[in-house]
């Protein structure tokens, strides 16, 4: 099984889950700028979307879309609790936050902010919207250590990527409950390992 990811892209979340659960998956770095894998293969031959993440199964089947891939990865090692049972309150909250990060933060805010060619007025709106969304999340984190409750989940892996990106872009002032949450993420060896690995790869060929 292969996991195609691009350094510092949203596929970072899956990288964290794979490391935490020690999943037997081959990591395949991709340059989204050159649309190539690390061995020079055109990425569109893997997935016509040319977007990460891509999970390729041993039978050749591929799966895309970050929120879905994260759930599948979590289900490969349920003992880690990255995705509680969907029938449970924590499981439902995990799915809710997973979709919040995907739609409200990733697509509505981060994509227009970090995509070249987006009109300045759209980027300005996205930055204001980002502040509103982060304030909303911060309020939630004033009551629980993680998004869906007391345990780290796939939603936290995804939101952790969003925080990392905004921090690198100078879009978030580390303070309060968000800062405390960021500190908890940095206490997780898999989160640190994924971040260090992807920073190195980013400098090489992202």
- As to burial, measured by CB atoms within 10 angstroms (0-12 exposed, 13-18 middle, 19+ buried), residue 108 is middle
pLDDT-derived band at 172, boundaries 50, 70, 90: confident
Interval 24-82: pLDDT, tens? 999 999 999 899 998 899 999 999 999 999 999 999 999 999 999 999 999 999 999 99
- Residue 168 is part of a domain; what is its CATH number? 1.20.1050.10
Structure-token pair, residue 124: 């300005």
**Which contacts qualify for 80-83: CB closer than 8 Å, 24 or more apart?**
80/20, 80/21, 81/151, 81/152, 81/153, 82/17, 82/20, 82/21, 82/152, 82/153, 82/154, 82/157, 83/153, 83/154
pTM summary value: 0.96
pLDDT given at position 2: 97
pLDDT-derived band at 130, boundaries 50, 70, 90: very high
Interval 69-116: pLDDT, tens? 999 999 999 999 999 999 999 999 999 999 999 999 999 999 999 999
Residues 30 and 13 in one domain: yes
pLDDT given at position 206: 54
Residues 45 and 125 in one domain: no
Which parts of the chain are beta strand (E)?
Answer: 2-5, 26-31, 36-37, 54-56, 62-64
Domain count, the chain: 2
For residue 73, what are the domain limits? Answer: 2-80+191-205
Residues 65 and 113 in one domain: no
């Amino acid at each position: 099984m292969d996991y195609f990811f691009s350094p510092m892209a949203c596929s970072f979340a899956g990288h964290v889950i794979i490391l935490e659960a020690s999943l037997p998956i081959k990591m395949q770095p991709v340059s989204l700028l050159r649309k190539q894998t690390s061995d020079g293969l055109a990425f569109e031959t893997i997935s016509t979307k040319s977007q990460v993440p891509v999970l390729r199964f041993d039978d050749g089947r591929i799966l895309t879309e970050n929120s879905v891939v994260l759930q599948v990865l979590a289900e490969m090692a349920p003992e880690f609790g990255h995705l509680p049972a969907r029938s449970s309150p924590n499981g439902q909250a995990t799915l809710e936050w997973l979709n919040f990060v995907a739609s409200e933060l990733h697509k509505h805010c981060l994509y227009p902010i970090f995509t070249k060619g987006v009109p300045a007025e759209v980027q300005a709106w996205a930055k204001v919207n980002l502040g509103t969304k982060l304030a909303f999340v911060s309020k939630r984190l004033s009551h629980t250590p993680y998004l869906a409750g007391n345990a780290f989940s796939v939603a936290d892996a995804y939101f952790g990527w969003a925080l990392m990106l905004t921090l690198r872009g100078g879009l978030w002032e580390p303070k309060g409950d968000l800062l405390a949450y960021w500190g908890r993420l940095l206490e997780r060896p898999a989160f640190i390992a994924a971040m260090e690995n992807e920073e190195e790869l980013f400098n090489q060929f992202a």
